[in-house]
Amino acid sequence: MNFEDIKAVQNLLSKPQKIVVVPHKNPDGDAIGSTLALCFYLQSIQQEATVIVPNDFPKFLKWMPGNEQILNFEKHNTQSKEKLQEATLLFTLDFNHLGRTGQMEELLKNLQVPFIMIDHHQNPEDYAHVTYSDVAMSSTCEMVYNFIEYLGGKDEITPEIANCLYTGIMTDTGSFKYPSTTSRTHKIVADLIEKGANNTRIHNLVFDTNTPSRLHILGCALKNMVILEEYGTAYITLSQEELDRYDFKKGDTEGVVNYGLTLDGIRFAVIFIENKEEGIIKISFRSEGDFSVNEFARMYFEGGGHKNAAGGKSNLPMKETITRFIDCLDENKEALLKVAKQVESGDNF
């Protein structure tokens, strides 16, 4: 954040506000962690603050401090709308396009109040009064830590805030293994542990607490994996019938796409998940090296995200979606082979 933005935020927070903090639809650990942490901080400086999520979030995040106070726009529609209509200030976290809020989009667009965006994805929209955008950051939670520090509030970071921020940084960095993890990230994490984040317990709650449905779906997904060695690519499909068979719950497919990247020679991994209710195939992309899945998703599948982690969708049935995907791989074969050679030679170190 630059000096002008910090002063603008300080000016907004110098008087009492009714604040709503909003993450993206289908919120993950970074979205929930950042919104809850910011909400706690705002309340600590005597601001009225509420988190409203567009829809439900995974069970493995519902241990987080303050999660019971979150309003779900789908389930608590009347109360959520009242809070939004009463709001004098909006924070949008972990997304930079109002279309990422699902059913909340039109209501948010019509609100005549200042917006503050905190986000680390590429190509931000210009809807916010203050935009704190940095694609080099590991996570929105790292940015919220910086945001609190910019406002002189590091001493206000409680164990509750520390636990929330640690969760988001841990999940969005793949347990600190992704390239966006910097020395600064580790210094922040160290400070959060000192301030009360229970790192071991958080890891266990997020990654090591499974349900039968989650493990069954993982088994089904791995059985469905297809390896395309000529493209250095592996993809997974999950049909609606398979999800229903194993009693799918939100969050059960979290992280499954990453298994493809554990295979020797695979630098591009994708999962296609059928959602009959929305009439789409939801797609998650992961890559290693210089192959940008953000550009791939934007070009072919109405999506986007980060260089090595992005999402998209297809309105075609599964079979046709896969056929189109393979055609897209063929168009990008040279770039994929270049990345494979870079990784094998160690040029990415």
What is the residue whose two structure tokens read 């979150």? 70
Residue 258 has pLDDT above 90, yes or no: yes
Residue 346 has pLDDT above 70, yes or no: no
Mean pLDDT, residues 88-92 taken together: 98
The confidence score (pLDDT) of residue 28 equals 95
Cα–Cα distance measured from residue 171 to residue 165, given in angstroms and rounded to the nearest whole number: 10
Cα–Cα distance measured from residue 154 to residue 44, given in angstroms and rounded to the nearest whole number: 12
Mean pLDDT, residues 212-235 taken together: 95
Mean pLDDT, residues 264-275 taken together: 95
pTM > 0.85 = yes
Name the residue among 33, 340, 327 with its Cα closest to residue 205.
33
Mean pLDDT, residues 162-187 taken together: 95
Cα–Cα distance measured from residue 267 to residue 237, given in angstroms and rounded to the nearest whole number: 18
Cα–Cα distance measured from residue 126 to residue 217, given in angstroms and rounded to the nearest whole number: 39
Give 300-316 pLDDT, tens digit per residue.
999 988 899 999 999 99
The confidence score (pLDDT) of residue 348 equals 53
Paired tokens of 102: 């699902």
Cα–Cα distance measured from residue 256 to residue 15, given in angstroms and rounded to the nearest whole number: 45
Beta bridge partners of 286: 269, 309
349 or 108, higher pLDDT: 108
The confidence score (pLDDT) of residue 209 equals 80
Strand ranges (E), the chain? 18-22, 48-53, 71-72, 89-93, 115-119, 130-133, 226-228, 233-238, 268-275, 280-287, 304-305, 309-314
What is the residue whose two structure tokens read 């990008």? 332
Beta bridge partners of 133: 119
Mean pLDDT, residues 46-59 taken together: 96
Paired tokens of 149: 């520090």
Residue 252 has pLDDT above 50, yes or no: yes
Question: What's the DSSP call for residue 147?
Answer: H
Mean pLDDT, residues 200-221 taken together: 92
Strand pairing report for 304-305 and 309-314: antiparallel
Query: 40 pLDDT band (50/70/90 cuts)?
Result: very high
The confidence score (pLDDT) of residue 77 equals 96
Mean pLDDT, residues 122-141 taken together: 95
Instruction: Yes or no: say if 208 and 243 are a contact pair by the CB < 8 Å rule.
Output: no
Q: Which of 96-100, 147-151, 175-179, 186-190 has the lowest mean pLDDT?
A: 175-179
Q: Which of 22-31, 55-64, 223-232, 338-347 has the lowest mean pLDDT?
A: 338-347
What's the mean per-residue pLDDT of the chain?
A: 94
Cα–Cα distance measured from residue 169 to residue 17, given in angstroms and rounded to the nearest whole number: 28
Tell me the HSE value of 78 on the side-chain side, using a 13 A CA sphere: 0
Residue 14 has pLDDT above 50, yes or no: yes
Instruction: Yes or no: say if 160 and 65 are a contact pair by the CB < 8 Å rule.
Output: yes
